[in-house]
Amino acid sequence: MESIKFLFLLLFQVVLSVFLFILFQDKSKKPEKNVSLYLMSEEPVITILLWTWPFGYRFILNQCPSSFDITGCFFTANRTLFLEADAVVLHQRDVCSSKDQLPQFPRPPKQYWIWFSMESPSHIVNLSFIDNLINLTMSYRADSDIFTPWGWLKKPDNAQIFSIPKKTSLVAWVISNWNPSNRRIIYYQELKKHIHVNIYGKQHLPLPRANHSDTLSKYKFYLAFENSLHEDYITEKLWYNALVLGNVPVVLGPPRQNYERFIPPDSFIHVDDFSTAQELASYLLELDKDDHKYQQYFNWRSKLQPESAIPWVSHYCKICKALKEGPNYRTIPSISRWFK
Ligand SMILES: *[C@@H]1O[C@H](CO)[C@@H](O)[C@H](O)[C@H]1NC(C)=O
Ligand SMILES: *[C@@H]1O[C@H](CO)[C@@H](O)[C@H](O)[C@H]1NC(C)=O
Ligand SMILES: *[C@@H]1O[C@H](CO)[C@@H](O)[C@H](O)[C@H]1NC(C)=O
Ligand SMILES: *[C@@H]1O[C@H](CO)[C@@H](O)[C@H](O)[C@H]1NC(C)=O
Ligand SMILES: *[C@@H]1O[C@H](CO)[C@@H](O)[C@H](O)[C@H]1NC(C)=O
């Protein structure tokens, strides 16, 4: 009787210790969260504080290792980490209503303040608030310390051979901000007398997000008309709506030579190539009738592939890369004098 009791106890103890062993082993192997993977890496961790979410838009931070293979940074939007932050990112449009919106604490001497804007100077006010406070600039301007364009060209993926999407319509334009005195609207008013343009956006044809790419890629031409004219200010209107979706951009923006710094000369049509909107319209109608000539606008796609930025992750990840590499920067005392 006694020995059966003993055997029972022994069995119970064996089961318990196996159970505890599995439990313990499992816990010791599993890192708590992916965040801790950066902290465990050998390189020092750079802490980057987003002073605000850009335009209040929240996104998943700390995607740089998985999305861009950029490691070594810890991003946070928690202002209590201000004193520990190696860099603080100030998104211009979120801090422009008064100086009180800038960090008010004493500034750690080694901390970088990074000024960030993807908007053009025409849509930015109170820039002088941050004069003499900034270490690095980050914007779509190619001469920024951290250059964050809306898009770029890369070598094509071998797996994907580009073919021109099937075309059933002629000219498309997506516009939500209809300001009658804006140059692009004035130009359109003249253009529409000579060619039909399908307009999508507020007060025009609906364009649900899910239909965006299918709808626009059916057009032969896309009006990539920028809201204001500034050096390098070439937005997703060109990069995504036109180039990525496989239609020929008709651009209105900085001069042709500025575009040619970023994309091949034979990949787009510039309104300045024509002395009148009527001449542009005739040229588009001529291309519509001449498939061979139209297709020449895609010859460059055998060597290059357009890619548009993923807002906002791809921009912020560039900070990590820049700070790890240097950072290489020049101090611009007056942002308001530089950003025009
Ligand atoms: C953790 O990171 C690894 C490697 O970057 C990735 O493959 C995995 O999907 C991540 N897991 C989670 C839960 O984010
Ligand atoms: C910010 O960080 C502090 C200190 O680590 C923590 O107590 C607080 O809960 C955090 N706030 C948020 C919103 O995560
Ligand atoms: C610019 O600054 C002035 C003075 O602080 C402020 O009254 C105004 O609202 C600011 N403009 C914007 C668009 O925030
Ligand atoms: C950043 O700029 C501020 C203001 O010009 C300056 O006081 C500070 O020393 C600079 N910080 C670094 C790390 O260069
Ligand atoms: C959007 O796409 C769906 C599925 O292809 C289609 O049924 C619907 O009619 C489209 N809507 C518009 C406004 O084009």
Query: Domain of 107?
Result: 33-148+312-338
User: Does 5 fall in a domain?
Assistant: no
Q: Kindly state the average pLDDT of the residues 247-276.
A: 98
Contact present, 48 and 74 (Cβ < 8 Å): yes
Contact present, 250 and 269 (Cβ < 8 Å): yes
Nearest CA to ligand 5 atom 9: 211
pLDDT bracket for residue 340 (50, 70, 90): confident
Of 43, 119, 231, 325, which is the active-site residue?
119
User: Does 9 fall in a domain?
Assistant: no
Same domain assignment for residues 163 and 111: no
CB of 129 shorter than 6 A to ligand 4: no
- What 3-state class would DSSP assign to 250? strand
User: Does 189 fall in a domain?
Assistant: yes
For residue range 7-18, list pLDDT tens digits in order: 666 666 766 665
Q: Kindly state the average pLDDT of the residues 268-273.
A: 98
Same domain assignment for residues 99 and 180: no
Number of domains in the chain: 2
CA-based nearest residue to 185, from 200, 175, 171, 195: 175
| Single-letter residue type at 43 | E
Same domain assignment for residues 301 and 324: no
The CATH number covering residue 241 comes to: 3.40.50.11660
Active site residue 2: no
Instruction: Tell whether pTM > 0.75.
Output: yes
Same domain assignment for residues 157 and 296: yes
Q: Kindly state the average pLDDT of the residues 39-47.
A: 72
Contacts of residue 211, defined as CB under 8 A and 6 or more positions apart, other chains included, come to none
- Is residue 135 over pLDDT 60? yes
| Single-letter residue type at 336 | S
Same domain assignment for residues 168 and 291: yes
pLDDT at 69: 93
Work out the percent of the chain whose per-residue pLDDT is above 70.
Answer: 87
CB of 63 shorter than 6 A to ligand 1: no
User: Does 169 fall in a domain?
Assistant: yes
Same domain assignment for residues 160 and 297: yes
Same domain assignment for residues 295 and 187: yes
The CATH number covering residue 88 comes to: 3.40.50
How close is the Cα of 137 to the center of ligand 3, in Å?
22
CB of 65 shorter than 6 A to ligand 1: yes
pLDDT bracket for residue 32 (50, 70, 90): very low
Q: Kindly state the average pLDDT of the residues 33-37.
A: 51
Same domain assignment for residues 224 and 279: yes
Give the H or E element holding residue 212.
helix 212-217
| Single-letter residue type at 89 | V
Distance from first CA to last CA of the chain, Å, rounded? Answer: 95
How close is the Cα of 259 to the center of ligand 3, in Å?
33
Same domain assignment for residues 170 and 108: no
Same domain assignment for residues 281 and 178: yes
